[in-house]
Chains A and B, each alone.
Chain A
Amino acid sequence: MHRIWDHGGAVTVRDIFEELRGERSIAYTTVMSTMDNLHRKGWLARERDGKAYRYTAVASREEYSARLMREAMAEAGDTEAVLSHFVAQMDGAESAALRAVLAKLAGRP
């Protein structure tokens, strides 16, 4: 997935395979089935170009990242994913109380 995002545009299985073969030994079919899986899971869109498919990312990395953060930050919203936050969202009074503790600790000799 990272390879495809780095490419920017549409890629074929052949493009990715050639690129990966330079770094490690990998079978063409492995790349093909991986990309097919990603298409099936909704990460890649594809269109037929002659005999091969040309794959494009459905959304950019930044878009996915923003979507994840929206989901993570608005726990009370429409998402029902179980996320265990290290620090949950706080209201103004609570973070003010914490800042006060922080100031006290910092002010200690």
Chain B
Amino acid sequence: MITALALLGYAACAAWCAPVLLAPLTRRGVSVRAGLAAWLTAMASVLASAVVAIQFSFRTAAADWPRLTQALCRSVAGGACTPQIYRGALYEGGVTVLAIVTTAAAAAALWRYGHRVQRSRRQTRAHAEAARMVGRALAGGTGAGGTAAPGNEAPATRALARRQAQTVVLDDPRPAAYCVAGRPAAIVLTSGALAVLDQPQLSAVLAHERAHLAHGDHLLRALTQGLAAAFPGVPLFTRATAEVARLTEMSADDAAARANGRPALVAALLAIATGTAVSSTGIQGASVPGGALAAATHAVPDRVERLLRPSSSARSALFATALALALTLLAAAPPLLTILA
């Protein structure tokens, strides 16, 4: 019983405190991989401790029932009703209620998760199919991707993503570029986006979107969105959805910057964001004046700043260490609590 309560208490505490702890560490994208790992571990830690707590409360309830019914029967037969028996009955009732309530909550959350993920997958597939059907093929095909230097991901996955993803153009004056997973996936560019991008910038955009598909980022996004729908109002899950999205963007930025250089990528970001053509040469060696983007809360300005001002290796190491520490703490807490309590 103590174990179950301790684990539930930890789950609640982590669900409310972990976002406050992790958000400042992962915000700037200093250590993208460690940041993603930390958010995923936090969610796994909370879910695992909740599941184990439910299991413990059931085990306690099941173990105590025979003794209690025996005592009750004896008291009915002999008429000797001691306060001890009442206390036992009360305690037993509490454990049983806890087990039933937590199980019901878990079942509801599971249903919401499944519902959300399934609906989201159906709509994503439909969108990809419609985009492939309606869009024009990009002139020059995937030739733009030919300039991409091999990154550090497996060549097999890269080749697979490139073969599968189909790049299409939709006629719309608003500049936009996105990828949508499906069978096969689609990378969608609007004619408005093509109008403001030059060839290297277009390659950078395509490399960014291919990196999303090759890394399977849509699966992470679907997972976090599903969990946020399963546990509405729980800060950890709502926050993780936003932060994981930011981090996957930054990770795709890194892949695109490796392949096509930072200037082309930054110019492409600015061009699509503002809707005006931007020369990549102006970006070369540029530095953002400190604080120019400080007011911005959204990922795009942060991403631009991050690409223009790479952090020093000492800073990266510091952030990576802090994240590793947080990760270890989150991973170790549930088993430690189980053993101690």
A interface, CB within 8 angstroms of B: 1, 41, 43, 61-62, 64-65, 67-69, 71-73, 79-88, 90-91, 93-95, 97-102, 104-106, 108
**B298, A104: Cβ atoms closer than 8 Å:** no
Does chain A have a CB within 8 A of B261? no
Q: A87-B273, A97-B295 are in contact. Are A68 and B177 (CB under 8 A)?
A: no
Partner pick for A80 among B120, B174, B178, B248, CB 8 A cutoff: B120
> Using Cβ atoms and an 8 Å threshold, which residues of chain B touch A83?
124, 127, 178-180
Closest approach, in angstroms, between the C-beta of B259 and any C-beta of chain A? 14
Report the separation of the CA atoms of residues A104 and B127 in the bound assembly, to the nearest whole angstrom.
Answer: 39
**A105, B292: Cβ atoms closer than 8 Å:** no
**B217, A91: Cβ atoms closer than 8 Å:** no
**A87, B133: Cβ atoms closer than 8 Å:** no
Closest approach, in angstroms, between the C-beta of A7 and any C-beta of chain B? 16
Question: Interface stretch among B9-17, B60-68, B280-288, B325-333?
Answer: B280-288
Q: A43-B133, A98-B304 are in contact. Are A69 and B170 (CB under 8 A)?
A: yes
**B282, A81: Cβ atoms closer than 8 Å:** no
Complex interface bits, B285-307 against A, C-beta within 8 A gives 1, otherwise 0? 01011001101111111001000
Report the separation of the CA atoms of residues A58 and B336 in the bound assembly, to the nearest whole angstrom.
Answer: 60
**B126, A81: Cβ atoms closer than 8 Å:** yes
A1 to B, closest residue via Cβ: B133
> Using Cβ atoms and an 8 Å threshold, which residues of chain A touch B286?
105, 108
Report the separation of the CA atoms of residues A83 and B293 in the bound assembly, to the nearest whole angstrom.
Answer: 26
Closest approach, in angstroms, between the C-beta of A27 and any C-beta of chain B? 22
**A82, B304: Cβ atoms closer than 8 Å:** no
**B296, A94: Cβ atoms closer than 8 Å:** yes
Q: A94-B300, A97-B293 are in contact. Are A85 and B282 (CB under 8 A)?
A: no
Closest approach, in angstroms, between the C-beta of B206 and any C-beta of chain A? 10
**B212, A73: Cβ atoms closer than 8 Å:** no
> Using Cβ atoms and an 8 Å threshold, which residues of chain B touch A105?
278, 282-283, 286
Closest approach, in angstroms, between the C-beta of A66 and any C-beta of chain B? 8
Does chain A have a CB within 8 A of B166? no
Complex interface bits, B205-233 against A, C-beta within 8 A gives 1, otherwise 0? 10011001000011001100100000000
Which residues 110-157 in B have Cβ within 8 Å of A in the complex? 116, 119-121, 123-124, 126-127, 129-131, 133-135
**B274, A98: Cβ atoms closer than 8 Å:** yes
Report the separation of the CA atoms of residues A86 and B120 in the bound assembly, to the nearest whole angstrom.
Answer: 20
Report the separation of the CA atoms of residues A85 and B221 in the bound assembly, to the nearest whole angstrom.
Answer: 12
> Using Cβ atoms and an 8 Å threshold, which residues of chain B touch A94?
296-298, 300-301
Partner pick for A86 among B126, B178, B289, B295, CB 8 A cutoff: B178
**B270, A64: Cβ atoms closer than 8 Å:** no
Q: A90-B300, A98-B300 are in contact. Are A84 and B212 (CB under 8 A)?
A: yes
Closest approach, in angstroms, between the C-beta of B287 and any C-beta of chain A? 10
B176 to A, closest residue via Cβ: A72
**B124, A82: Cβ atoms closer than 8 Å:** yes
> Using Cβ atoms and an 8 Å threshold, which residues of chain A touch B296?
93-94, 97-98
**A80, B119: Cβ atoms closer than 8 Å:** yes
Known: A83-B124, A98-B304. 4 other contacts (CB 8 A): A64-B130, A93-B295, A94-B298, A102-B270
Does chain A have a CB within 8 A of B181? yes
> Using Cβ atoms and an 8 Å threshold, which residues of chain B touch A43?
133
A61 to B, closest residue via Cβ: B134
